[in-house]
Chains A and B, each alone.
Chain A
Amino acid sequence: EAQFKLRASVDTSLSHARTQSVADYLKKVQERSGGRIETELFHSGQLYRDRDVVKALRQGSVEMAAPGNWVLTGLVPDADVFQLPIFFGQLASVAYGAADGKIGQLVDTQFQQKLQVKILGRWLPLGYQNCYATSKPIKSFDDWAGMKIRNSGGAGQSLRAKFFGAIPNLTAWPDVPLALSQGTFDGLCSTDESLASAKLWEAGVKYGFEDHEFIGFYVPMISDRFYRQLPADLQKIVVDTWQENIETYRKNMETAQEEAHRTLEKNGVQFFSPGLEALSKIRQKMMPTQDDVAKELRLSAPLMSQIKAESGNLSQ
């Protein structure tokens, strides 16, 4: 018989790999708890946009969420860590390593304290953020210069656009298809899956440039007050279920991006890949700006010294 109700809110649609991961997690938690935890999933922003969901968690209006780290920077600036130049153009494994290691822990600690949540475990990657264009193909970083490139608002993205001589443009996601088809901007930074879900080729996207600017992560969390009222065995189920499945979920997220990539290609989007070497060169050029970027992003001193301590491994 149900003793606890676990409602989860995500703002991606039912078919999105994150929604699917959370749905699978909820199903398993309910099963393993023998129905003592009754779970319910609200997707597509029915209850909350991710931007707003952490406050609802704090206030006890909902029990679980997995917001992207990019919407958490207003409360925990260190959530923006992957905007640092050192992560530009890196392989996913590098970002995963940082997220799963001490850097991720430093950020998690702040999430737990400030948002009054329990972080379930390792984060769920959304995938590479790339650049896409409508009018002219981007084949190298020089092509960025002078283009109007839309981003979703964080300071890191706008600094990066400026670094390449592009003109950063901030447009809310709901306005993107219309703005694209009207030529309000020449390109945008996003992921394959986001583009495919909005079918943005119909809004004029023709080219993709796989510059792997950073990797966004969804942070799985449940509200502290919910977690604390659970008996120890259920607490263990809630945490273990995530830990045991996160590898599968990560794979699923990657597969979804690959599928989206193929969908985009099938619909005529042409991709260019600068290659690891070129990315690494660009990263070296960006590195001198790292401290300024950190300052702009309000990253904390402990986080930055951790980054410096690991920089040997990261910049391999």
Chain B
Amino acid sequence: MSAISVLDRVERFLIGLFGTAALAVGTYQVIGRYVDQRIAFAYGEEVVVYFTVWAVFLATSQLVRTDGHVRPDLVLRLLPPQGQRWFEIFNCCVALAFCGGLTWFALEVATGSFDLDERSSTGLEFPMWIYYASIPVGAGLMSVRYALRLYRYLFEFDPSTMIITTAEH
């Protein structure tokens, strides 16, 4: 298995795991609140946020892989294959610039939070750097995906699979 398909599997597994964990904690909180007060866990909603945001940022990387980020493709559809290719190359460059920058600055946010020992202001006192780390990780993975995508459009362009067609489904 190539490194990238290992990455795919790990990502998907973690997205599913964190999402399910969020669901489990959310449910547990409801039960704790309304069914049996003895097992109540006051900070459930907070933990749901941390799990979900981690899952969401990992998913942003998967979305680059599957071209799932929503975008208006009106103009692209009107272009011939080579035109689309150059537009996609341009898009990859803009995406790399943004995601690269986001990775860098979000890393600053996360490490800053770690250095300050920032905790959530609830009684849970959750170390916030763990939450913040989801963004540089997600943005970093997106950068990798966009770099791969750029490479494919530059050097392995295949009009039969890599363009948007106007055909109705």
Interface residues of A (CB under 8 A from B): 51, 55, 58, 70-75, 77, 114, 153-155, 158, 167-170, 172, 184, 296, 298
Task: Name the one of A58, A155, A167 contacting B40, with C-beta atoms under 8 angstroms.
Answer: A167
17 contacts between A and B (CB under 8 A): A71-B121, A74-B118, A74-B119, A74-B125, A74-B128, A75-B116, A75-B119, A77-B119, A153-B123, A155-B123, A158-B123, A169-B33, A169-B42, A170-B45, A172-B45, A184-B33, A298-B125
**Smallest distance from the beta carbon of B28 to chain A beta carbons, Å?**
14
Q: Is B43 an interface residue when CB atoms closer than 8 A count as contact?
A: yes
**Smallest CB-CB separation from A158: which chain B residue?**
B123
B36-76 CB contact bits vs A (8 Å, 1 = yes)? 01001011010000000000000000000000000000000
Compute how far the CA of A266 lies from the CA of B45 in the bound complex, rounded to whole angstroms.
Answer: 35
**Smallest CB-CB separation from A171: which chain B residue?**
B45
Interface of B is mostly: loop
Task: Name the one of B37, B43, B109, B120 contacting A74, with C-beta atoms under 8 angstroms.
Answer: B120
Q: Is the CB of A154 within 8 A of B122?
A: yes
Compute how far the CA of A158 lies from the CA of B123 in the bound complex, rounded to whole angstroms.
Answer: 8
**Smallest CB-CB separation from B43: which chain A residue?**
A170
Task: Name the one of A58, A74, A169 contacting B121, with C-beta atoms under 8 angstroms.
Answer: A74
**Smallest CB-CB separation from B121: which chain A residue?**
A74
**Smallest distance from the beta carbon of B43 to chain A beta carbons, Å?**
7
Compute how far the CA of A167 lies from the CA of B40 in the bound complex, rounded to whole angstroms.
Answer: 9
Note all chain A residues with C-beta closer than 8 A to B123.
Answer: 153-155, 158, 296
Q: Is the CB of B121 within 8 A of A72?
A: yes
Note all chain A residues with C-beta closer than 8 A to B118.
Answer: 74-75
B74-102 CB contact bits vs A (8 Å, 1 = yes)? 00000000000000000000000000000
**Smallest CB-CB separation from A168: which chain B residue?**
B42
A-B pairs with lowest CB-CB distance, top 6:
A155-B123, A153-B122, A74-B121, A74-B119, A170-B42, A73-B121
Q: Is the CB of B122 within 8 A of A170?
A: yes
Q: A114-B116, A168-B42, A170-B43 are in contact. Are A70 and B37 (CB under 8 A)?
A: no
Instruction: Please provide the chain B residues from 115 to 169 with a CB less than 8 Å away from any CB of chain A in the complex.
Output: 116-123, 125, 128
Compute how far the CA of A169 lies from the CA of B43 in the bound complex, rounded to whole angstroms.
Answer: 9
**Smallest distance from the beta carbon of A69 to chain B beta carbons, Å?**
10
**Smallest CB-CB separation from A155: which chain B residue?**
B123
Note all chain B residues with C-beta closer than 8 A to A51.
Answer: 121
Compute how far the CA of A114 lies from the CA of B112 in the bound complex, rounded to whole angstroms.
Answer: 11
**Smallest distance from the beta carbon of B71 to chain A beta carbons, Å?**
29
Note all chain A residues with C-beta closer than 8 A to B33.
Answer: 169, 184
Note all chain B residues with C-beta closer than 8 A to A155.
Answer: 122-123, 125
Compute how far the CA of A108 lies from the CA of B135 in the bound complex, rounded to whole angstroms.
Answer: 32
**Smallest distance from the beta carbon of B53 to chain A beta carbons, Å?**
15
Note all chain B residues with C-beta closer than 8 A to A77.
Answer: 119
**Smallest distance from the beta carbon of B144 to chain A beta carbons, Å?**
27
Note all chain B residues with C-beta closer than 8 A to A184.
Answer: 33
Q: Which of A58, A73, A153 has the most CB of B within 10 A?
A: A153
Note all chain B residues with C-beta closer than 8 A to A72.
Answer: 121
Note all chain A residues with C-beta closer than 8 A to B120.
Answer: 74
Compute how far the CA of A70 lies from the CA of B121 in the bound complex, rounded to whole angstroms.
Answer: 7
Q: Is the CB of B125 within 8 A of A158?
A: no
Compute how far the CA of A150 lies from the CA of B121 in the bound complex, rounded to whole angstroms.
Answer: 16
Compute how far the CA of A51 lies from the CA of B120 in the bound complex, rounded to whole angstroms.
Answer: 9
Note all chain B residues with C-beta closer than 8 A to A167.
Answer: 37, 40
Note all chain A residues with C-beta closer than 8 A to B117.
Answer: 75
Compute how far the CA of A170 lies from the CA of B122 in the bound complex, rounded to whole angstroms.
Answer: 9
Note all chain A residues with C-beta closer than 8 A to B40.
Answer: 167
**Smallest CB-CB separation from A156: which chain B residue?**
B123
Compute how far the CA of A160 lies from the CA of B2 in the bound complex, rounded to whole angstroms.
Answer: 56
Note all chain B residues with C-beta closer than 8 A to A169.
Answer: 33, 42
Q: Is the CB of A153 within 8 A of B125?
A: no
**Smallest CB-CB separation from A116: which chain B residue?**
B116
**Smallest distance from the beta carbon of B107 to chain A beta carbons, Å?**
14
**Smallest distance from the beta carbon of B118 to chain A beta carbons, Å?**
5
Q: Which of B43, B118, B121 has the most CB of A within 10 A?
A: B121
Q: Is the CB of A158 within 8 A of B121?
A: no
Q: Which of B37, B116, B123 has the most CB of A within 10 A?
A: B123
**Smallest distance from the beta carbon of B160 to chain A beta carbons, Å?**
48
Compute how far the CA of A172 lies from the CA of B44 in the bound complex, rounded to whole angstroms.
Answer: 12
Compute how far the CA of A296 lies from the CA of B116 in the bound complex, rounded to whole angstroms.
Answer: 19
**Smallest distance from the beta carbon of B69 to chain A beta carbons, Å?**
26
Instruction: Please provide the chain B residues from 10 to 54 with a CB less than 8 Å away from any CB of chain A in the complex.
Output: 33, 37, 40, 42-43, 45
**Smallest distance from the beta carbon of A158 to chain B beta carbons, Å?**
5
